[in-house]
Structure 1
């Protein structure tokens, strides 16, 4: 349910994971977060004394999966315009007097700080100043799409200021008295020819500053050939396919034997510019994800071009350069696991594709069906002893194979080959490589710096996890948005929880759902506990002619209570989509395999356990057990802020590796995976790349 949305009793809890849940969570919380000064809370004043620390937090595995599939992807219905969770820990957090905020942009990136420290001496950086409220502070950081390459910078579309069109020619930089033929040629390239090598203005500026500062001396080339750093760069570009990239995007013409100074200068600049392109693609992606849909709204971290050159070109040795180039790839463990799966499939050569199993009525154990031979071939199961070849009988051996597949695919393990199982079988029978590449691309949409703790909702998996130091400490089922009211893809900061929330109905739901009800029956909303408010006062909806009146000037509010669409609590990470995590009175929906029923918000199964795990991290050492939290339920709305804030990632991964090392897939619920593959040109026309053959010149 969303600030955009709502729609029915809780089912059994999943098996408990064999992890030292609360003890580990609380221990890590104490180490990972700096303690904040105590502050008075209105909530605490409402309690009858301080509660002691609660019992250990159970770590639930509530199940995972999907069910019936959607019809073939419809871009209009899905809102697409063009048609796993472990992490590496960050370096130790510096102790200070401020509460730790993993998303605070004022805290410098350790990787960026290290890179800047390696730069050649340049003009001193300006002192950082704290802006007054409302003040506009210029930023040197990339800003297009909050971290995504802009149009003309890795995407198809109209070129922007940072596109390939060159600006006015730069004045020829001064060269020292010890100039050489190489430095003269390189200076000329920097002065007027950089647009041939770099499409983005930020890259051109960084290349100009870098080579001017080093007096146009080479970094990637040496006397008559490649320098060790240059060879490392070429080797990395050649195996870009291991990262799910296209090596053709990073092709550098070979350097001729006995190359002259002009040829060396050309290769020098080509290697430097391609290093910037590769770093940006492998870290923040090859196209702007926001162009896919209004609900695809992540904030990838574009690497700073100057920092990339400082980290790679000024590396101490080839090993350091290799490590630098590797560091730009996503550092989440699931990305690494997908990369390993990709390598295995690429090593196997051609992937065996299976003939699709045609649609039809649900196939149940003991029935006969002409599709059974195809089902046997798909699962690699022969007929039982004594049965005839091509037997169409759905026997016990095949039923067990179907059950095993359903378990892996996260579906109801019932042995019935219905619409959902059939779609999953056909999906899994296709070449998995394009899907792996598309999912690796979406890992680049996350912030590059991996927070020590974060909340991750994987939309197609219908699961939420709280991850600390690379391992899930709590997970449970969720309900996400319907395809027509999608849960957006985004990253924001968890700020606070609200107990006994009121629901202020969003305009879209008022217009699309409530106004038709009012026109049929003015008191329909009253029976749902929803008040009609005008000028701050609750009015009698029977006094309004809803057949003639619109909703302008009216608001609709549901007071706290058992029937409230948000349930007993909501977890807030403010964002422009007005979505959040919350409880729900519609508990029966969590028993479904395919849980896409909301208007965009994320409904959480067993929210009290989720809240306990959340506050063990957000307010460590304060003993916010379920028992203590339950005292906040009932009565007026109450807000409880987190002292330690951490990211919330709403993500969309249809392929990931499970705990047994197996590649599993989920339904492409919103068509986002198909749209990603289309944008990447996988299996179709290429729709991105700011540097292709026309810019690769000898």
Structure 2
């Protein structure tokens, strides 16, 4: 708690998509999809549906019960090798083999008109780190200062033996375009400078064209753009007009720059997203890793495997790839899955009578007369089976969570899959060898090592009016027997009204009123004048709102993970009760998992950690730090390979779909990143 504060989960498992067919445009998705019949065999398990390997320690396996760990903590490295937090991530051989199967994209017709701007946004702002991995001098752009956009390129094109040969004048035409017309191809200053620097370093020699036609690299780029739908993107945003049969050198130069600029747009969109997520609300505060445009051009043009270079821009998390498989399956079928929707209403319990019962029967495939509105035992059994499959408490009660799962699983799933894929772009691009991930709509936290869950447990997250923010920061230390300094927002909204009604209401909860460092008598204060100048502090103890320990990843939202005395809430299906912080079930087991990774080989067992509980406040600093990701995925593939939908608790999924035009309303970029107009 603070000022703001898996159960099937982001599991590993996949289903084989149907055979290659047509990728059809759903009106709700706003995607222009092309045919991919006869996909060659080098392009991805995402299209082939080859399963991603599963094991008990997978990211969210089914059948998790409260208090049950995912796997023994010693099993934190692949192939039984010692784990090195600073080393390169080493997935298991089975997982590597499954994820490496990528078929090549088929050639696509490229006859779409080029839009003046992408249909949605200009991508995330310039936050986060650049594209990692481009360190080879042969691939990187020169270290010298980049020429300013709009200035002539300093390196003159070399003379050719035959100035009339096709393409001989392309370097000169490129120099002219880079010198004064670069804004026609790239509106972002960073992209303009990267393009000028890239071609200056090459002596204005083309990379994406050759002679008077598209080069092999250019064709790979065109194939990638045409297949953008499999990444949940709109191919129309990357459409490049085809060269005419006998293209002039001026037309080839235009094509060269058009392709290079579109590569930058595609890389930015697929890696960091199509709009600034912070436009949704102040609580949506992730830091997408925006690719460096110079590094993008260096990587794509210098890689011995350009297709792999393009693929590297997409999120590399297994859960993203599993959603991609599901999207490809729906595209191959040419439709989303549409089923009966059950309207919202009062909670339904066995024995109730409700006019929605016939719809519930139809949704679950249970026969019955249309006039039969009784929620009988036979229907209750079907609901329990559905709840088990959805990772919900199988109590037969149709509440908000069960209703959201019923309707989410039964509607057109493509927009939700695409919106959740978009939010995976908000997670830092580099997959850390160790990270902690809290999935807010799922009410679960996981400790992940080399993309394998080594510990998972339930959490309580923020209420819709005091939301847990979306962000990533580094776990640094734990505090035992913490005091709670009540945040101003809670004082203002919750405690002040109590004090006005009863000055000693907080004292009975163990909360002291402090002024100038001294505890004062709350009965001697006129609380109708406000609480300015007073602070509120709850000393360590069993009643403390933070429980016995808190886990700190300092951030501007002042949220963290912590214990709680209100442990009965973990039995609830819908666990949104906090002021923004994340309350952790079984904190001793969670601390053991963190310390095994952050304080390796020091023997921090649960009994040893328990000795820190009681007495004065104590801190334990981690020697090895790792990121904590607070994320929002309400559609995901669970550990049994099933596509699961959860309640859109904060409306973030709905907002994502609206901004992307997945609600059926087309939007185009109007200005800066994230600025949209209908």
TM range (shorter): 0.7 to 0.9
Superimposed CA distance per residue, residues 477-508 of structure 1 (whole angstroms, 9 cap, x where no aligned partner): 00000000000000000000000001111111
Aligned-residue offset at 1:540: 1.4
Q: Contact 2:445–2:458 at 8 Å: present in 1 too?
A: yes
Q: Determine helix, strand or coil for the equivalent of 2:458.
A: strand
Q: Determine helix, strand or coil for the equivalent of 1:480.
A: strand
Counterparts of 1:231-242 in structure 2, within 5 Å, are 231-242=219-230
Does 1:583 pair with 2:563?
yes
Superimposed CA distance per residue, residues 499-520 of structure 1 (whole angstroms, 9 cap, x where no aligned partner): 0001111111111111111111
Counterpart-to-counterpart distance in 1, 2:143 and 2:464: 52
Instruction: Indicate how the Cα distance of structure 1 residues 471 and 688 shifts in structure 2: closer, same or farther if over 3 A, else same.
Output: farther
**TM-score normalised to structure 2 length:** 0.79
Counterparts of 1:238-257 in structure 2, within 5 Å, are 238-257=226-245
Instruction: Indicate how the Cα distance of structure 1 residues 480 and 250 shifts in structure 2: closer, same or farther if over 3 A, else same.
Output: same
Q: Determine helix, strand or coil for the equivalent of 1:498.
A: strand
Does 1:539 pair with 2:561?
no
Match of 1:111 in 2: 133
Does 1:183 pair with 2:171?
yes
Does 1:31 pair with 2:83?
yes
Does 1:348 pair with 2:308?
no
Match of 1:66 in 2: none
Q: Contact 2:134–2:298 at 8 Å: present in 1 too?
A: no
Superimposed CA distance per residue, residues 321-349 of structure 1 (whole angstroms, 9 cap, x where no aligned partner): 00000000000000000000000111111
Instruction: Indicate how the Cα distance of structure 1 residues 585 and 674 shifts in structure 2: closer, same or farther if over 3 A, else same.
Output: same
Q: Contact 1:618–1:644 at 8 Å: present in 2 too?
A: yes
Pick aligned residue for 1:600 from 558, 562, 580:
580
Does 1:21 pair with 2:67?
no
Match of 1:284 in 2: 272
Instruction: Indicate how the Cα distance of structure 1 residues 367 and 289 shifts in structure 2: closer, same or farther if over 3 A, else same.
Output: closer
Q: Contact 1:363–1:416 at 8 Å: present in 2 too?
A: yes
Q: Which ranges of structure 1 fall in alignment gaps of 5 or more residues?
A: 6-11, 36-85, 90-104, 126-139, 141-166, 693-698
Counterparts of 1:409-428 in structure 2, within 5 Å, are 409-428=390-409
Q: Which has the higher contact order (CA 8 A, sep 6+)?
A: 1
Does 1:432 pair with 2:413?
yes
Q: Contact 1:476–1:606 at 8 Å: present in 2 too?
A: yes
Q: Contact 1:501–1:568 at 8 Å: present in 2 too?
A: yes
Pick aligned residue for 1:196 from 179, 184, 189:
184
Aligned-residue offset at 1:429: 1.9
Instruction: Indicate how the Cα distance of structure 1 residues 364 and 502 shifts in structure 2: closer, same or farther if over 3 A, else same.
Output: closer
Counterparts of 1:136-147 in structure 2, within 5 Å, are none
Aligned-residue offset at 1:547: 1.7
Q: Determine helix, strand or coil for the equivalent of 2:76.
A: helix
Counterparts of 1:263-282 in structure 2, within 5 Å, are 263-282=251-270
Aligned-residue offset at 1:183: 1.2
Aligned-residue offset at 1:555: 1.0
Instruction: Indicate how the Cα distance of structure 1 residues 454 and 213 shifts in structure 2: closer, same or farther if over 3 A, else same.
Output: same
Aligned-residue offset at 1:193: 1.1
Q: Contact 2:464–2:650 at 8 Å: present in 1 too?
A: yes
Q: Contact 2:560–2:582 at 8 Å: present in 1 too?
A: yes
Question: How many pairs align?
Answer: 571
Counterpart-to-counterpart distance in 1, 2:586 and 2:209: 60
Instruction: Indicate how the Cα distance of structure 1 residues 24 and 172 shifts in structure 2: closer, same or farther if over 3 A, else same.
Output: closer
Q: Determine helix, strand or coil for the equivalent of 2:577.
A: strand
Superimposed CA distance per residue, residues 262-303 of structure 1 (whole angstroms, 9 cap, x where no aligned partner): 010000000000000000000000000011100000011011
Does 1:339 pair with 2:327?
no
Q: Contact 2:131–2:289 at 8 Å: present in 1 too?
A: no
Instruction: Indicate how the Cα distance of structure 1 residues 552 and 30 shifts in structure 2: closer, same or farther if over 3 A, else same.
Output: farther
Q: Contact 2:354–2:375 at 8 Å: present in 1 too?
A: yes
Q: Which ranges of structure 2 fall in alignment gaps of 5 or more residues?
A: 6-63, 88-94, 99-126, 161-167, 673-678
Q: Determine helix, strand or coil for the equivalent of 1:403.
A: helix
Q: Contact 1:2–1:602 at 8 Å: present in 2 too?
A: no
Q: Determine helix, strand or coil for the equivalent of 1:353.
A: coil
Q: Determine helix, strand or coil for the equivalent of 1:22.
A: coil
Q: Contact 1:332–1:450 at 8 Å: present in 2 too?
A: yes
Q: Determine helix, strand or coil for the equivalent of 2:133.
A: helix
Q: Contact 2:288–2:428 at 8 Å: present in 1 too?
A: yes
Q: Contact 1:3–1:580 at 8 Å: present in 2 too?
A: no
Q: Contact 1:286–1:689 at 8 Å: present in 2 too?
A: no
Counterparts of 1:272-671 in structure 2, within 5 Å, are 272-316=260-304, 320-365=305-350, 369-383=354-368, 392=373, 394-548=375-529, 550-671=530-651
Aligned-residue offset at 1:172: 5.4
680-689 or 523-532, which deviates more: 680-689
Aligned-residue offset at 1:526: 1.1
Counterpart-to-counterpart distance in 1, 2:65 and 2:604: 22
Superimposed CA distance per residue, residues 531-557 of structure 1 (whole angstroms, 9 cap, x where no aligned partner): 111111111122211123x22211111
Q: Determine helix, strand or coil for the equivalent of 2:528.
A: coil
Q: Contact 2:178–2:196 at 8 Å: present in 1 too?
A: yes
Superimposed CA distance per residue, residues 391-447 of structure 1 (whole angstroms, 9 cap, x where no aligned partner): 555455433321121123333212233454334323322101000000000000011
> How large is the RMSD of aligned CA atoms in angstroms?
2.9
Counterpart-to-counterpart distance in 1, 2:527 and 2:396: 51
Q: Contact 2:131–2:295 at 8 Å: present in 1 too?
A: no
